[in-house]
Amino acid sequence: QVQLVQSGPEVKTPGASVKISCRASGYTFSNYYIHWFRQAPGQGLEWVGVMNPTDGSTSYGVDFLGRVIMIKDTSTRVVYMELSRLVSEDTAVYYCARGDLTSVTKRSYFEYWGQGTLATVSS
């Protein structure tokens, strides 16, 4: 069965970086986009960006340009999202989710999600 398993909670100080992993299983890793979202405490969902595991190409939300990097390790079927220059407003649960086939489209709805990773930014 399709599973996305994320790394554990993180606590960072302002200005630091956080790197969260998303390990995929149960399907052909390179065939589906991986998207990242975040949800601040008590707030709604925000799209962070998307990676194509076939070639590593990425697209990021404008609010994250210059601060986020998404990379992959095909051998371990893991996608990483690193967010730098953290501020308190980056405190959120970060989710990865499997998108559509890379041969089809980046625009997608999401049936499969990781369990979420809480990243707390505090001095």
Query: Is 27 one of the binding residues for another protein (CB under 8 A)?
Result: no
**Near another protein by CB under 8 A, which window of 7-15, 22-30, 82-90, 102-110?**
102-110
Length of the chain: 123
Query: Is 103 one of the binding residues for another protein (CB under 8 A)?
Result: no
Hunting for tokens 């997608």 — which residue is that? 108
**Of residues 60, 48, 55, the one with CA closest to residue 74:** 55
Query: Which tokens sit at 22?
Result: 């998303």
Q: How far is the CB of 80 from another protein (least distance, A)?
A: 19
Q: How far is the CB of 98 from another protein (least distance, A)?
A: 11
Closer CB to another protein, 15 or 94, in the complex: 94
**Of residues 41, 53, 29, 38, the one with CA closest to residue 96:** 38
Hunting for tokens 């930014």 — which residue is that? 121
Which member of 10, 80, 106, 120 binds another protein (CB under 8 A)?
A: 106
